[in-house]
Amino acid sequence: MPLLVLALVALLGFGFVWLLFATSRAAPPYRVEGDTSIFRHGKLMQFFAVLSFFGAELILGLWVIFFPPRSNATLMPVVVTAVVLGLAGFLLIWEAFRFQLTTTTTGLDCKSPWKGRAQQSWSQVKELAYSPVNSWFALTFQDGRSFHVSRLVPGVTRFLESCERHLPPEAMTKAAPGYHRLGRKWPFGPTPSAKAFPVGRWLKRIALALVLMAVVGLTLFTVNGLVLATGETPIVGQLPNVKLGPAHATPNEVHIVAYNIAKGFAHSGGLRFATKAEVEAQLKKMAFTIRAQQPDLVFLSEAMTECGPANVDQVEFLARACGLPHYAFGENYNFGLPFYRVVGGNAILSRTPLTPVANISLAGRQPFYVTGNNRRALFAEAEVNGKTVLLGSLHNDSFNHRNNEAQVRQLLDFIGDRPCVLAGDFNATPKQESITLVKDSDKFAGAFDGPPTFPEKKIRIDYVFGPKAWKHVETRVLPGDASDHFAVVARFGWK
């Protein structure tokens, strides 16, 4: 499915690029009938104008079919994008089919899609000027109306020849820069003084280019964050050709690991990124720690599936290295451009198949362009001891304790009466209200206290809690330097 999405986006991009090419190189052609020249947009321009309108809407329609929005909040960006692209396509069609310019020995017949029709004699032309920023020749008439002709129009030189024959040189002075852009010699003697040329035209061009780059970049950034991000839709997959990791020798138990992997140290803030080789080396150390516990389930916090120059899918890498072929991923943030971005969140690895449930936005959730402390919680289901169990992987608020408590209350409400394994980085110590809420809910079994899991501050903030109906056997902390957190491993049996 991701390949289909990439193909659709590539098709849309190709269509717009080709449309720009058609606009500048194939439209409007001109036809000469005696002393009359007729300029219209060509068939190629008209074809791609229609393609841009229907093609964009078709691609968005297919997107909704293959990736149905889970809520009105996720549907709205698609609707807004469809309306904007539809409007842009309509404007292109309007221009492509309604533009026409006719020049004769007596005057001009200008049919503008935007300003209506103007029939003017040559004597009514006040001046012909050239705009380096817009790259067009602008006819201004005595009544204040104007008409624009791009310098890229095939046949524009014939249009200029008609102007030379019928307009006085002083009315043509401001068109001189356009002659030089076309590689033509100025026909009226010495080149006009520099005052006739727009001041700072190169600065204007550079400024326009920078503005266009910023607009394109911002558009891609917004599309990536609103349309291409998976948001509250969890991703579930199975890796092919993965040999199962070693199983523990206690069939009546389930072994669970919770591990904040610190993004594999791929990104350390700002523009500081590790290399792909450095990230993979850290992940191999983590996989060694995890695999040695012979787990059935692994809950990952701060896992990244994309990360610019250190582009390693950490979830798939660890799933393969640990021999746990089934995985689920819930996106917390998706920041950047469609082809170069940082995507991170929570994950679950499993020996057995997983069923997606939700990737709920937690209290304090910020807009997509905020990456710091922006939280969701991933939920999936798995069969454990013949029963369906809810699995929750989380990484709660690390700065605001009140918001952390609100997130825990939200999680407990979502879980309800369902048997649930809740594991990850709670960012709360054993005596803080968040852990007290979990303990007092009477929904869970496990160790609510114990050795530190975050060595820098020597505090315990990572936990593994199983359903109340399970028997808690033991919970251990696994020291190591592969991450800035220690892994937590818990064993549960059946009562």
Residue 15's pLDDT band (cuts 50, 70, 90): low
pLDDT, residue 23, reads 45
Tell me: do 134 and 57 sit in the same domain: yes
Range in 22-26, 33-37, 157-161, 182-186 with the lowest mean pLDDT: 22-26
The answer to whether residue 124 sits within a structural domain is yes
Question: Which of 185, 202, 219 is where one domain is finished?
Answer: 202
pLDDT, residue 29, reads 47
Tell me: do 433 and 321 sit in the same domain: yes
Q: What's the token pair of residue 257?
A: 């690991």
Tell me: do 61 and 162 sit in the same domain: yes
Give the start-end residues of each E strand in 206-245.
235-238
The answer to whether residue 219 sits within a structural domain is no
DSSP string of 195-210, one letter each residue: GGSPTTHHHHHHHHHH
Per residue in 100-128, pLDDT (tens digit) is 788 888 998 888 777 778 888 999 999 99
Angle between helices 314-322 and 276-291 (to 10 degrees): 40
Tell me: do 246 and 190 sit in the same domain: no
The mean per-residue pLDDT over the stretch 415-433 comes to 97
The answer to whether residue 31 sits within a structural domain is yes
Closest CA to 382 of 330, 326, 426: 326
Residue matched to tokens 């997107």? 63
Using DSSP bridges, classify how beta strands 470-478 and 487-494 pair: parallel, antiparallel or unpaired: antiparallel
Give the start-end residues of each E strand in 308-461.
326-337, 340-350, 355-361, 376-384, 387-395, 420-425, 444-446
Residues 325, 313: Cα–Cα separation, whole Å? 14
The mean per-residue pLDDT over the stretch 47-68 comes to 72
The answer to whether residue 438 sits within a structural domain is yes
Residue 184's pLDDT band (cuts 50, 70, 90): confident
Tell me: do 236 and 359 sit in the same domain: yes
Tell me: do 266 and 192 sit in the same domain: no
Q: Inform me whether the pLDDT recorded for 69 exceeds 70.
A: no
Q: Inform me whether the pLDDT recorded for 12 exceeds 60.
A: no
Tell me: do 484 and 352 sit in the same domain: yes
Question: Which of 202, 222, 239 is where one domain is finished?
Answer: 202
Q: Quote the number of domains for the chain.
A: 2
Per residue in 449-471, pLDDT (tens digit) is 999 999 999 999 999 999 999 99
Per residue in 353-404, pLDDT (tens digit) is 999 999 999 999 988 888 778 899 999 999 999 999 999 999 999 989 999 9
Residues 54, 85: Cα–Cα separation, whole Å? 9
The answer to whether residue 111 sits within a structural domain is yes
The mean per-residue pLDDT over the stretch 75-83 comes to 70
Containing domain of residue 29, as a range? 2-202
Residues 314, 5: Cα–Cα separation, whole Å? 22
pLDDT, residue 119, reads 87
pLDDT, residue 350, reads 97
Asked if 62 and 83 touch (Cβ cutoff 8 Å), the reply is no
Residues 58, 54: Cα–Cα separation, whole Å? 6
pLDDT, residue 332, reads 95
Q: What is the mean pLDDT of the chain?
A: 84
Tell me: do 73 and 115 sit in the same domain: yes
Residues 427, 419: Cα–Cα separation, whole Å? 23
Q: Inform me whether the pLDDT recorded for 1 exceeds 50.
A: no
The answer to whether residue 217 sits within a structural domain is no
Tell me: do 310 and 418 sit in the same domain: yes
Backbone torsion region of residue 241, taken as left when φ is above 0, otherwise alpha when ψ lies between -120 and 50, otherwise beta: left
Per residue in 273-320, pLDDT (tens digit) is 889 999 999 999 999 999 999 999 999 999 999 987 788 999 999 999
The answer to whether residue 99 sits within a structural domain is yes
Beta sheet of 387-395, edge-to-edge order: 355-361, 376-384, 387-395, 420-425, 462-467, 444-446
Tell me: do 320 and 367 sit in the same domain: yes
Of residues 411 and 189, more confidence is placed in 411
Residue 473's pLDDT band (cuts 50, 70, 90): very high
The answer to whether residue 207 sits within a structural domain is no
CATH number at residue 351: 3.60.10.10
The mean per-residue pLDDT over the stretch 404-431 comes to 97
pLDDT, residue 188, reads 84
Tell me: do 145 and 278 sit in the same domain: no
Residues 395, 294: Cα–Cα separation, whole Å? 23
Tell me: do 122 and 258 sit in the same domain: no
Residues 451, 461: Cα–Cα separation, whole Å? 10
